[in-house]
Amino acid sequence: MSDHENAGYDEWLDAIAGGDGYFLECGNGHGSLPPRRICPECGATDLETTPLPEAGTVETYTVVHVAAPSFADDVPYTTAVAKFGPVRLTGVADDDVEVGTDVSVKIGESETTGDRLLRFERR
Amino acid sequence: MTGVRIAGVGLTHFGKHPERTGRDLFAEASEHAFADSGVSHDDIEALYYGNFMGELAEHQGHQGPLMAEAAGVRAPATRYESACASSGVAIRQAVKDVRNGEADALLVGGAERMNNLGTAGTTEALAIAADDLYEVRAGMTFPGAYALMARAYFDEFGGSREDLAHIAVKNHEHALPNEHAQFQNEISIEQALDAPMIAEPLGLFDACPITDGASAAVLVSDEYAEEHGLDAPVSITGTGQGGDRMALQGRDYLARSPAAEEAAEEAYAEAGIDAGDVDVAEVHDCFTIAEVLALEALDFYAPGEAIGAARRGETTRDGDRPINLSGGLKAKGHPVGATGTSQLVEMTRILRGDHPNSDSVPDAKTGVTHNAGGTVASATVHVLEVVS
Ligand SMILES: [Zn+2]
């Protein structure tokens, strides 16, 4: 799956792995994620790197039982969307999360391919 | 501005046809549409064609000219790709061309071949409609994405798996007399609730099947219909399109579909109607929860109110406003690129009175089709009215 580099995204994963996660913020306070040149909300191009809040909150989640081949050995697994300040992230989560659970974001890997992915852990 | 008439419509059987090529499926659908229309192949000025995963399923890009050739049409041809809304946007382009006076007769349609990929291959192929970096790499599948929306809906408004099961049961029941449908069998609430989970809270019976099929329609101007004495009683009187952020995580709402709200507002305004004028609708129920989101986006229900519509019997065949009399994507099937035009085909027949379920809505004059792409990052809505 990830057999090519994705400049901007790969560095962002490195930063999260190192405990220095960030999002991009325009002068109007809109948050977005890399790779990004232009604020999707207002078109501003002066995007600043802002530290990602340490705690996020799960807004929705699902336990996936039928996966694509790249996650075949991971099933069942939980995918969640969690809000970290002005941005939301999507990641594989601890199996007992619910809507409202506080989580941190780490870098984990797919059991099937070993590819890096976002992982939400209960705080 | 001239009106846009639906001169003829055609479908293949929707189901498992893994040995048939996309070009053969589209040729059959177009053959039915031409036979139904009374329009000559020579008069067609363009083909607008929807297809989503041709590169993955058939190693075939650039499908526009291929499909024009398959249909026996010598005219410029363009493929439209907007995931599951591919042929919805193709119809919209055709409507604009006729209104602008650019063309008097056009062929629209779509086709998809999926079963030759198998379940795992199809799951992988459908996932490319999501954001690869931010969603697919976190294990999000197409059912998984709708499961995330379903959970968010339940959390915000309430609702249960049993409410969703009523939608599946209804759409299976509607498909019973539809010879084009993939499933012509009844299911029970218990069967739906007991089925294996795909992505919680969605089970196997909350999901549309993997489908091969094609759809086509011949659209003409009012003037062309008159000059050629066509029997074309149904017009497309409104078209709308809306858009949203690609990834769920970038959206303002997880339990609403603003792209479809926008599309509906635009289409209703063009037709000069509001939701209360709509007698019947075909909506994009790729998953049961998607029908709920569609009914709210179309303003048939306020946000949070449509979850119980099937359970209350309001959207069933004998309800006030029957939804998905064809069986919907759930039971009729969802050959992704063919779906938008197939909704137009079914609605045309429902309004003309020659659909097997037309007798459920004998006085229907106004119908709506709602076609959504991905997790409704793309949406089109069309208003169809009986004009003669
Ligand atoms: Zn901004």
Would the CB atoms of A69 and B120 count as touching at under 8 Å?
A: yes
Give B201's contacts in chain A (Cβ within 8 Å): 62
Cβ B200–A90 below 8 Å, yes or no?
Answer: no
Nearest to B151 among A60, A68, A71 (CB): A60
Q: Which residues contact A14 (CB under 8 A, 6 or more apart)?
A: none
Strands B105-112 and B213-221: antiparallel
- Rounded to 10°, the helix B86-99/B339-352 angle is 60
pLDDT in tens, A45-96: 999 999 999 999 999 999 999 999 999 999 999 999 999 999 999 999 999 9
Mean pLDDT estimate for chain A: 95
Beta-strand runs (E) in A5-75 = 22-25, 31-32, 48-51, 56-64
With 80 as the cut, is the pLDDT of residue A31 above it?
Answer: yes
Q: What's the pLDDT score for residue A1?
A: 44
Residues B53, B55, B60, B64: what is their CA dihedral angle, to the nearest 10 degrees?
A: 50
How does pLDDT run across B162-210, given as a tens digit for each residue? 999 999 999 999 999 999 999 999 999 999 999 999 999 999 999 999 9
- In chain A, what is the straight-line distance between the N-terminal and C-terminal CA atoms, in Å? 30
pLDDT band at B1 (very low <50, low <70, confident <90, very high): confident
Residues near ligand 1 ion, CB 5 Å cutoff: A 26, 28, 30, 39, 41-42, 44
Q: Catalytic residue positions of B? A: 84, 334
Cα of A37 from ligand 1 centre, angstroms: 11
A76 Cα: distance to centroid of ligand 1 (angstroms): 38
Q: How far, in Å, is the centroid of ligand 1 from the Cα of B85?
A: 29
pLDDT digits (tens, 9 = 90+) for B2-15: 899 999 999 999 99
Task: Decide if A99 and B149 are in contact by the 8 Å CB cutoff.
Answer: no
| Helix H or strand E segment including B371 | strand B366-373
Cβ-Cβ pairs closer than 8 A, A with B, add up to 102
Residue in B with minimal Cα distance to A108: B138
* 3-class state of residue B163 by DSSP: helix
Length of chain A: 123
Task: Inspect the interface and report whether the beta carbons of B138 and A99 lie closer than 8 Å.
Answer: no
Is the ipTM of this structure higher than 0.90? yes
Give pLDDT, residue B91. Answer: 98
**Chain A residues with CB within 8 Å of chain B CB:** 1-2, 6, 9, 32-33, 40, 59-72, 74, 77, 79-81, 87-92, 99, 110, 115, 117-118
Separation of CA A41 and ligand 1 centre (Å) = 5
The whole-model pTM stands at: 0.98
Residue B125 has pLDDT above 60, yes or no: yes
User: Does A76 sit behind a cis peptide bond, omega within 30 degrees of 0 on the bond before it?
Assistant: yes
